[in-house]
Every structure is written in C-alpha cells, then in structure tokens.
C-alpha cells in the first residue's frame, strides 16, 4: 500500500486549473497506459454559477507527465448541468471507451453515459448511450472500471436523492458485466463509517486485483462541509464487492481545505504512475502525477 500512497512533495504538475481560487479545478483523472503511451481523461471545473464541471479533456503523453490534448467535450454536448470524473478504458479488441458522469439539469441526479471509438482522439458524443441511468432514488457517477479474468468490474459512487439536502452523501456500489455496457448490481462494496474521517461519504477511485483479492484507493469526507475537499484512504477485501477500510489517517493536502482525491494508478515501464487531484494554497485544485 505504501507504494500507492501519494507523496505530493515528489509530484509534478500535469494540468493547472482554469483559474485561481476556490472552485477552479483540474483533476478527476482516469489514465490508461498502452504501447508506450499514456492516455488521460480529466475534468475541468469552474465555480458554482460559472459553469461547474464544464469540460472533459482527453490527452496523450509519451512520458506520462507532459500531455497533449486530443479533444475536449463540453457539458452542453451531453445536455447536462455538470461533468464529473470520466473513466477511460481500452477493451481487449482495441476499442476505446469513455464513460462520462453527467448531472441531470435542475436535479441532484447523476447518470453515466458511454461513447466508443477506435482511437481516443475520435470520441464523438453524438454516438453515446446511457450505461448507468440511476433512478429517482439514486444518482450514479464516477465509475471505476476494471476488466479482470474475463469479467468487467465496476465501482460507482451512489448518492441518495430522497432529500436534496442529504444528496452529498455517498457510498460505493459494485457491479459486474460481460461486455462493460450492461451491468448487474451486487450492492454496496464500501460504506461510510460513523464517527470516522469518512463518515459522510466514500468513493472508490482506483482498484487493483491482488493474489489475496482487491486493494482499492478511495475518497472520503467526515461532514458535508468537506464536500469537494475529500481525503484519500485505502480499503481491501477478498471479494471485490465487499471492501473494508484500512486503519490509518487519510492522505490530505496541507493547503486550504485539505483535498487530495481521485487517485488513479496506471502501470508503466519500470513501475507505475499515480495521478490525483489536490488542493493548492489558493484553494484551486490541480492535477498532479508521481512516478514510482
């Protein structure tokens, strides 16, 4: 686990936020390494009232640190109020998929849509489809998708919608699929812990299968006031649908609200890269990477 724990003092900037101060974010990364290249999808956000999560960018890099944008998807293209963390995936037959978390206008509801392409530069959201619709009781977003032993596994952040004032709460539910498009839900994989640093919400951000089961990184917060400033912890389990938080304090930024979240891990030559979003001194969030 220590190899996956962020050490921001060793990190490098990947993407700066679109502005300075609270509410300006670059982050929520999802990375795929293939054939000596790292592809990265990430979200850009402005403050409430100025656009929220207004765009998802797909970019490419030969070194995992310096990226060239390939395309930008604006929220208006999905008829949504805001975009959250995407999930970028390459299928065994070489098809690329981009899963997009989209907020339904005028509600607290979230859904996930998917678009496919032969190359990450060719995603066309006019050809998208809904893959995780949620319902009138639950919003679904921020999927983590891993293919393992011939089966697709998904962990998604699920939010209750009965009381809009409580909709920031979240747990992580688990689903499986034969094709990565039609999913069967298996219940909550990781829940909140009363009285702990993750009492208000938990959101799995990265998963690795191990000989003993599963190791996951996750975001958590203790109270509604920490919304947008989650910390990072770890969980494990013999079953991918039943994770237990590991003891120890979360990893946090020393700045402002303390946010360090959306950790993703991608294998690269000689080791692996960490990507995550963290809060800088002025309150803006930036996307950073570490090579291990």
Query: Band of the pLDDT at 3, cuts 50, 70, 90?
Result: confident
> Contact 233/250 with Cβ under 8 angstroms?
yes
Beta bridge partners of 204: 218
- Gap between the Cα atoms of 237 and 242, Å rounded: 6
Q: Please give the pLDDT value at position 101.
A: 98
Res 192 pLDDT > 70: yes
Residue 268 CB neighbour total at 10 angstroms? 16
What global pTM score does this model have? 0.97
Instruction: Answer positive or negative: Cα dihedral of 81, 86, 89, 95.
Output: positive
Beta bridge partners of 87: 99
- Gap between the Cα atoms of 27 and 256, Å rounded: 17
| Strands of 22-109, DSSP E | 25-34, 37-45, 53-61, 68-74, 87-90, 96-103
Q: Where are the alpha helices (DSSP H) in the chain?
A: none
Count the residues in the chain: 292
Query: Band of the pLDDT at 2, cuts 50, 70, 90?
Result: confident
pLDDT in tens, 80-132: 999 999 999 999 999 999 999 999 999 999 999 999 999 999 999 999 999 99
* Tokens, residue 123: 């995603």
Q: What percent of the chain has pLDDT over 90?
A: 97
pLDDT in tens, 233-258: 999 999 999 999 999 999 999 999 99
Q: Which fold has domain 11-291?
A: Tachylectin-2; Chain A (2.115.10)
Res 156 pLDDT > 70: yes
Res 14 pLDDT > 90: yes
Q: Please give the pLDDT value at position 268.
A: 93
pLDDT in tens, 255-280: 999 999 999 999 998 899 999 999 99
Residue 160 CB neighbour total at 10 angstroms? 16
| 3-class secondary-structure state, position 222 | coil
Q: Please give the pLDDT value at position 270.
A: 83
Q: Please give the pLDDT value at position 16.
A: 98
Q: Please give the pLDDT value at position 1.
A: 66
**Inter-CA distances, 288 with 19, 65, 207, 264, Å:** 16, 9, 19, 11
pLDDT in tens, 72-90: 999 999 999 999 999 999 9
Residue 134 CB neighbour total at 10 angstroms? 19
- Gap between the Cα atoms of 18 and 54, Å rounded: 11
Q: Please give the pLDDT value at position 60.
A: 98
pLDDT in tens, 26-52: 999 999 999 999 999 999 999 998 999
pLDDT in tens, 134-153: 999 999 999 999 999 999 99
Domain ranges of the chain: 11-291
Indicate the average pLDDT of the chain: 97
Give the residue among 274, 266, 227, 232 at the shortest CA–CA distance from 250. Answer: 232
Give the residue among 116, 110, 119 at the shortest CA–CA distance from 143. Answer: 110
């Amino acid at each position: 686990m220590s190899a996956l724990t962020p050490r921001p003092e060793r990190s490098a900037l990947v993407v700066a936020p679109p502005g300075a101060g609270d509410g300006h974010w670059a982050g929520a990364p999802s990375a795929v390494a293939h054939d000596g290249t790292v592809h990265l999808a990430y979200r850009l956000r402005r403050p409430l009232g100025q656009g929220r999560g207004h765009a998802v960018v797909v970019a490419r890099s030969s070194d995992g640190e310096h990226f060239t944008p390939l395309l930008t998807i604006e929220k208006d293209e999905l008829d949504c109020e805001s975009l959250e963390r995407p999930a970028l995936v390459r299928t065994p037959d070489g098809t690329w998929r981009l899963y997009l978390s989209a907020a339904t206008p005028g509600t607290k509801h979230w859904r996930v849509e998917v678009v496919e392409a032969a190359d990450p530069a060719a995603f066309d959201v006019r050809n998208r489809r809904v893959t995780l619709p949620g319902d009138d009781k639950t919003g679904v977003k921020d999927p983590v998708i891993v293919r393992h032993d011939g089966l697709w596994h998904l962990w998604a952040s699920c939010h209750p919608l009965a009381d809009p004032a409580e909709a920031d709460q979240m747990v992580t539910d688990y689903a499986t699929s034969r094709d990565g498009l039609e999913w069967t839900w298996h219940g909550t994989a990781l829940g909140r812990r009363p009285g702990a640093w993750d009492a208000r919400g938990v959101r799995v951000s990265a998963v690795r299968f191990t000989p003993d089961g599963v190791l996951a990184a996750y975001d958590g917060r203790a109270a509604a006031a920490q919304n947008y400033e989650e910390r990072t912890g770890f969980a494990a389990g013999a079953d991918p649908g039943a994770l237990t938080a590991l003891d120890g304090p979360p990893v946090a930024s020393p700045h402002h609200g303390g946010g360090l979240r959306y950790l993703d891990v991608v294998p690269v030559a000689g080791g692996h890269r960490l990507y995550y979003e963290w809060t800088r001194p002025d309150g803006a969030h930036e996307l950073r990477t570490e090579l291990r």
